[in-house]
Amino acid sequence: MKYKDLIGKMTLEEKASFMSGKDFWQTQNIERLGIRSMFLSDGPHGIRKQAEAADHLGLNASIPATCFPTAATIANSWSVELGEQIGDYLGKEAVVQKVDVLLGPGINMKRNPLCGRNFEYFSEDPYLAGKMAAGYIRGIQSHGIAACVKHFAVNNQEERRMSIDTIVDERTLREIYLTAFEIAIKEGKTKTVMSSYNQLNGSYTNENIHLMKEILRDEWDFDGVVVTDWGGSNDRVAGLVAGNELEMPTTAGETNEEIIQAIQSGKIKEDVLDECVDRLLELIFATEEVHTNSQQEFDMEEHHKVAQRAAEESIVLLKNEGNILPLNKGVKVAVIGDFAKEPRYQGAGSSIVNPTKLDNVLDGFDQSGIINIGYEPGFERYGKKNTTKMDKACTLAKESDVVLFYMGLDEVTEAEGLDRPSLKIPDNQIQLLNSLYKVNPNIVAILSCGSVVEMPWLDKVKGLVHGYLAGQAGASAILRVLTGEVNPSGKLAETYPLQYEDTPSYHHFPGKEVSVEYRESIYIGYRYYDTTNKDVLFPFGYGLSYTTFEYSDIQVTKDEVTFKLTNTGNVAGMEIAQLYVGCKSDDIFRAKKELKGFAKVFINAGETKTLTIAFDDKTFRYFNVKSNQWEIEEAEYEIILGASSADIRLIDTIVVEGTGAPLPYDKDQLPTYYSGKANDVAVEEFESLIGYKVLVAKWDRSIPLGYNDTIAQCRYAKGGSARLAYYVMVFAHWFLIKIGKRSTANIIMMSVYHMPFRGIARMTGGVLNMPMLDGILMMVNSHFFKGLNHVLKERSNKVKVAKVIKTKAVATKEI
């Protein structure tokens, strides 16, 4: 241990208190030993340090900071260098705000397009997500602070996220859901990792020895700090044993006492606690320079320009019929859509940033060279039909050469804590689009949303520019793309299916009560669509440019692939060349091809550049469940270069020597997986894959409700008062939506409906402790008066204990 002497001076009580927060965002300090508090802040795409009352839902305003494009947006840039630059600027702002640990980036896989937090994650591909995350981490940590990669792991739905049990086979866990974390830790060298809320194959992630010790610590040699997601601790002692140093937020000493009792009773050795304290001390001292740095401010204008460049490089041009874009100088445009005046530029929840400034497209036309003849909102932002607004928009559209239609998803549709109900754009926007098309078919749609949507309306637009959630400078960036000042170079980091029913996890998302089964195994995103030759709307890696590129002269060696890339158009631009690898053997089931490298390069018109993409330790590997390690299958492999996963330009082959591992599967038992058509696998075949019987994914109504059951399950409660409370909550949610208070309705779902009972204690900072929660559960389980008496008794005891502690503290201070 590095800090053995210092730890030797700490009492058991001090060490135990060190393992949970001082308050909502700060760690404990020990003044007598000169150990300071650290400040942790949300911040995947901007610092969210709250100036007033702290919360984890983004309800209270934070100190102004640059709102960069979200991770889902930046992933479309395919630029690790851009990710590192954004991280650099995030780090600068964190230092100014005295933030020690920046809680990001988030790198969970986009298993299903309905996951409510997809806007905060990079991709459906682990290699792309991992590389982008590593860039962010290097940039953030270059300023002496810590990045915190999250949420570790398989946290791919928001519904019941604090208690759902994710059932996934070991190979899929390693290849799909952990690879991005592996890259972030080994290449980014992140100093902290945030454990996720959910269970993984039967145990909560921050207590999961296989995940936290065998993989994270032993295989990946991670020696940093693991912090729980806020309120995400279940069994504090089990978490400590698994190597979870820091529980957040504060529990007002309640879980500290659990640690002390476990050590005093001999349940665990004090050495376990000491190791965790040592790692936390290392983080505190490693981030010390944050507090010695005298910088009081940052250049807001410079940071805003960086946010604009980031957005420009991430915007994706999805359709350009008849070369309607870029717009010619002097063209008359009608600007229509509520999102033009009130831009949708970030997600909702714990990542909400209070921007230093916010660009608006309506302010930018004077310098653009195009003529804006007027603006009409056209539709109500939150879905209500408004015929008057629609008529005014159509009247304006008739007078223009081109209609710029700003459409998308509103702030309450994509939010932390709940999943989206569908992939659809609100009907009132589509009705308006159809009406606009009748009066002026020259429509360019500018789409603002953080995740996949269906587009049955695509034939009604000639141009489609997807800005995703482009941050505070996104409006200016999009306008520069529309006018041709910027040649779009973004490519999709996720697949757009024709309809939601086509997605491989359609039949098993979300898990509703007890568990969610990842029956599709390795076949998520393009791995499924390409393997089964399923038609999609836009493939993974797709994006148009105002120029064209030609690939030629592929050469493959055992270490790399080299090829030439020529800009065959009339304007300079950037191309993203993608390397996919496909194994030609059918002894082990695999996706048809997998992303194993990429390169983004700027090329002038008529210029040719030679590019090389090196192979690495992930190029040919697969995880063998028999040998329980990474292996290479001896086989012939296709080396594939494409402009997208569906637009293949060059192919060559190479024979790769294998590691001689035994074949991991019996083909006869897994026919669906070998076919790749794994969108609706029978439970028996899934059980053959994972090696055990899955539990019934329904709650057992004969068992009383407990700590890890959600408040939503009060519908099954034996106590009539609990059932009544449940139906009142459901009615309140329905009523709030009915009267247009969708944001408030969402809060009910996020912070109450799907919250497990233990979360009430964990998230209230000790206001309601576990003994009081025991009383509430008695009331829920039909012992109302006994439970009420227990709650009042424990509350009285809590108040008495608090008075004694306060008296002792005053006495100690006077001495």
Which residues are marked as active site?
Answer: 229
One-letter amino acid identity for 78?
W
Question: How would you label 94-128 residue by residue, b for 16+ Cβ within 10 Å and e otherwise?
Answer: bbbbebbbbbbbbbbbbbbbbbbbbbbbbbbbbbb
Please give the backbone phi and psi of residue 468, each rounded to the nearest 5 degrees, phi first: 50, -135
Distance CA 657, CA 75 (A): 33
Distance CA 262, CA 259 (A): 5
Question: How would you label 574-604 residue by residue, b for 16+ Cβ within 10 Å and e otherwise?
Answer: bbbbbbbbbbeeeebbbbbbbbbbbbbeebe
HEC profile of 74-123: HHHHCCHHHHHHHHHHHHHHHHHCCCCEEECCECCCCCCCCCCCHHHCCC
Distance CA 805, CA 815 (A): 15
Please give the backbone phi and psi of residue 422, each rounded to the nearest 5 degrees, phi first: -160, 175
Looking up tokens 């700490």 gives 10
**SS3 category, 533:** coil
Let me know: does 341 contact 360? Beta carbons within 8 Å.
Answer: yes
With CA atoms as reference, report the closest residue to 406 among 357, 461, 365. Answer: 461
Which tokens hold the place of 767?
Answer: 């206001």
Which tokens hold the place of 231?
Answer: 């309120």
Burial class from Cβ neighbours inside 10 Å (0-12, 13-18, 19+) for residue 239 reads buried
With CA atoms as reference, report the closest residue to 381 among 415, 343, 325. Answer: 343
Burial class from Cβ neighbours inside 10 Å (0-12, 13-18, 19+) for residue 735 reads exposed
